[in-house]
A and B are shown apart, each in its own frame.
Chain A
Amino acid sequence: AQTVTQSQPEMSVQEAETVTLSCTYDTSESDYYLFWYKQPPSRQMILVIRQEAYKQQNATENRFSVNFQKAAKSFSLKISDSQLGDAAMYFCAYGSPNTGTASKLTFGTGTRLQVTL
């Protein structure tokens, strides 16, 4: 079974600064996807960024980028130029094409990100 670990329960960043959220995972599969989801107080999970394991290039989406280290099974999220609206819970998640990828996700326990002025 796959596991996802987020070792930072809470992080804080000043507005306009950069913060990195950590995630490690364990799997015996070679083909999989990794995701970062944001959950604001509205409770709705919003996809931030996703990475396909067979792609060596790190995914980027505007201010959000990942550092994907397949051998180390590490998948960190970097948020640049942090904004007040980035404050939320962030979840790292794993999906396998063998089980429908994003239709069956394994989530970590989350990191609460605070953004201060």
Chain B
Amino acid sequence: DAGVTQSPTHLIKTRGQQVTLRCSPKSGHDTVSWYQQALGQGPQFIFQYYEEEERQRGNFPDRFSGHQFPNYSSELNVNALLLGDSALYLCASSLAGEETEAFFGQGTRLTVV
């Protein structure tokens, strides 16, 4: 049983560019959440997707957007990248109605130069 998989594992982008990160949830899970973890900090909730819609959002600007596909996989898009967007981006999946455990991927390390 594959767990949560994220791609790519690392990438480097230039300030002002756009980036797309991808996440496949654990088999059987239908809810995907995205977190940003800056160096030396705890993860910060960006948003959550369920039934292909953004259901909840944390305190992040509109430059951060997402999408969920019918197979429950998800994308995180960040436009107009800033140096401060450099972080580890974590994806977590869970099953609606049984949300007492979330499974995390290994994250995507984004470096903005």
The answer to the question of B101 belonging to the interface, with a C-beta cut-off of 8 Å to chain A, is: yes
Total of A-B residue pairs, C-beta within 8 Å: 78
Indicate if the CB atoms of A103 and B42 lie closer than 8 Å.
no
Stretch at the interface among A39-47, A65-73, A76-84: A39-47
Contact A106 to B45, CB < 8 A, known contacts A42-B106, A44-B105:
yes
Indicate if the CB atoms of B92 and A101 lie closer than 8 Å.
no
Q: Type the 1/0 row for B66-97, where 1 means its CB is closer than 8 Å to any CB of A.
A: 00000000000000000000001010101010
Contact A101 to B56, CB < 8 A, known contacts A44-B105, A44-B107, A45-B90:
no
Interface on chain B toward A: helix, strand, loop, or mixed SS? strand
Q: Type the 1/0 row for A27-70, where 1 means its CB is closer than 8 Å to any CB of B.
A: 00000010001000011111100101000000000000000000
B interface list, Cβ under 8 A from A: 31, 33, 35, 40-45, 48, 50, 55-56, 88, 90, 92, 94, 96, 99-107, 109
A interface list, Cβ under 8 A from B: 4, 6, 33, 37, 42-47, 50, 52, 91, 93, 95, 97, 99-110
